[in-house]
Structure 1
């Protein structure tokens, strides 16, 4: 698969549907797969944290989760087909699990949020097998969590610990497993549980979902400061490649 590199982070050159097809083949072949969904904040975090960049470099696929990534690719004259949002990708995979009765494990979030998430996915995807779940409050160096999950033999493992914690957990533990799609999904459990509402469709189509989330969660403003730094560094990368 072709990639577009933005500030050292290689993004897949793929549509969302093409990507789901690739992951489905890997599930059927029982190929372990590390998926990262990255927006400008993640890219800047990786540029400012060498250890986190190492986690990303070991991922099998990094998707452009954010219009800022797609815009940056265009500025660099290496256009990406479209956004491949983590939340939508997760929902696509849940639908796939429902159609094929795949086993799914959910790791992360507060206990009450996680339980509501499990309740909702059970209703929406009744044929999917829930292999198990555990909240996000545990020591990352505790090997017991990974061992318990491994014994359940899930096909999909969604890790909602937030970056860089979720990528660190996958990086540290994926070698212990025989199979599975491991995907960091940030606050997606909150979205499925209904704790944090998804932006209305018109906001999504206008690519200003980030603004809706900021209005809903004003405490995110500090994280948003990464965006102007990201734009500056991408434009600098473009200038240096001329």
Structure 2
């Protein structure tokens, strides 16, 4: 276990409260330090457990935060409780708020072209002091594109990558060495919420730790992905029984 972290299926999660995580990330941004942040839920951890190459990518991140009640539950089952959940969407919004306060530069990569443009427009409206220095949809040829060069030239403080897992983490890991600064964070479907195309679960569902169930009801096509949750918990109980 790393300092101030909790290991869940081989992944070291930052054992910090939301505000402490935000403070740490803002410090990195202000000091122009490069950082790779992963917001991992049970689906991501289970995928990493079953795909060693992806697991290495997650383990290489500067910080992995527990995005999902399942991670918190697993840490309690293993008797190494994590302080609190750090939801990826909440973290993204807080970074946008800080971007507005500090006039930070942001690049948005991912989503359909229309979705990407809507998200940019909404950021410009809600956070007028944020500088959107570039954006690009998520449907591009990984071998033939100028995205990395474009981002380097724009020199953003934060790069939100909304390619969905595992692609967003794979893209960051593949390109990170090209940059000398920037906070890189995979945000997945949060771009759809930013664009106003998908509604986040109401506060009641969030407080009851049932946001995952609300998403399943709202997007039934997610049911196959949700099967990762019982498989994840089964692995956790196996570890518990082996101790």
TM-score, normalised relative to structure 2: 0.97
Q: C-alpha distance in 2, partners of 1:63/1:195?
A: 25
Partner of 1:10, secondary structure, is strand
Q: C-alpha distance in 2, partners of 1:128/1:58?
A: 29
Structure 1 partner of 2:139: 137
Structure 2 partner of 1:48: 50
Structure 2 counterparts to residues 55-134 of structure 1, below 5 A: 55-134=57-136
Residue ranges of structure 2 left out of the alignment (5+ in a row): none
Q: C-alpha distance in 1, partners of 2:157/2:242?
A: 43
- Listed one character per residue, the Cα deviations across residues 175-226 of structure 1 (whole Å, up to 9, x for unaligned) are 1011000000010110111111001111111110001100110000000111
- Listed one character per residue, the Cα deviations across residues 152-173 of structure 1 (whole Å, up to 9, x for unaligned) are 0000000000000000000011
CA deviation after TM superposition for structure 1 residue 139, in Å: 2.0
CA deviation after TM superposition for structure 1 residue 143, in Å: 5.4
Structure 2 partner of 1:19: 21
Q: C-alpha distance in 1, partners of 2:138/2:233?
A: 32
Q: C-alpha distance in 1, partners of 2:115/2:52?
A: 32
Aligned length: 241
Partner of 1:139, secondary structure, is coil
Partner of 2:57, secondary structure, is helix
Q: C-alpha distance in 2, partners of 1:61/1:238?
A: 25
Residue ranges of structure 1 left out of the alignment (5+ in a row): none
Q: C-alpha distance in 1, partners of 2:141/2:79?
A: 43
- Listed one character per residue, the Cα deviations across residues 30-55 of structure 1 (whole Å, up to 9, x for unaligned) are 11000001000001100111111111
Query: Alignment RMSD, CA only?
Result: 0.8
